[in-house]
A and B are shown apart, each in its own frame.
Chain A
């Protein structure tokens, strides 16, 4: 079975600081995709960043970047210069060969003014 683990149920940081959310997963597949989604109180699931497993270069989207360690099956999200609008639930979600997203349990991130 393919599992996804987010070991940090809650995190909080001061505005403008950097925070890293962790995610590990288990799969026997070699080619897959990895996503981080953000879910604010409005409940809309918003795509934050995407990583292809066959790419060694870590993906970056403005203040968001990932540290992808394929051998370790680790996919962490780093948020730099955190802003109040980053307050949300964050979900790690791999997309394996069966083409369905598998979500972790989420990390509730609070940015403190």
Chain B
């Protein structure tokens, strides 16, 4: 049973650049959520996609955007990268309230 797959695993970008992170949800899940986890902190909600639309959004600037495709996979885009964007980015898929399944994350380092 394939779980949530995220790519790439690690990424190093230069300040000011743009980055795209990808997520394939668990089979049967229709909702994808993205979280940012700074070192030593709990994950912070970025946004959630359902039926290819952003259903809700956390307290993140417009530099953070996303997309969900018809096959439920999703992308997270971050423009004009800042040093403070360095974090672990987690994708989670879900089907209603039965629990979220998380991927292993993408470690983004901005230099």
Interface of A is mostly: loop
Which of B41, B100, B101, B107 is most buried by chain A, counting CB atoms within 10 A of its CB?
B100
CB-based contact A101/B33 at 8 Å = yes
Instruction: State which residues 27-55 of A face B: CB under 8 Å.
Output: 33, 35, 37, 42-47, 50
Q: In the complex, what residues of A have CB within 8 A of residue B101's CB?
A: 47
Number of A residues with CB within 8 Å of any CB on chain B: 22
Instruction: Name B's A-contacting residues (CB within 8 A).
Output: 31, 33, 35, 41-45, 48, 55-56, 58, 88, 90, 92, 94, 96-97, 99-105, 107
Q: How far is the CA of A102 from the CA of B103 in the complex (A)?
A: 17
Query: Which residues of chain A have a CB within 8 Å of any CB of chain B?
Result: 4, 33, 35, 37, 42-47, 50, 91, 95, 98-106
Contacts of B97 in A (CB 8 A): 33, 95, 99
B104's contact among A37, A42, A99, A103, by CB below 8 Å, is which? A42
| Bound Cα distance from A35 to B98, whole angstroms | 10
Residues of A within 8 A of B88 (CB): 43
Closest 6 CB pairs of A and B: A45-B102, A103-B42, A44-B104, A103-B43, A105-B42, A33-B97
Interface of B is mostly: strand
Closest A residue to B88 by CB, please name it. Answer: A43
18 pairs of residues in contact across A and B, judged by CB atoms under 8 Å: A4-B42, A35-B99, A42-B104, A43-B105, A44-B103, A44-B104, A45-B43, A45-B92, A45-B102, A47-B99, A99-B94, A100-B56, A101-B43, A101-B92, A102-B45, A103-B42, A104-B42, A105-B42
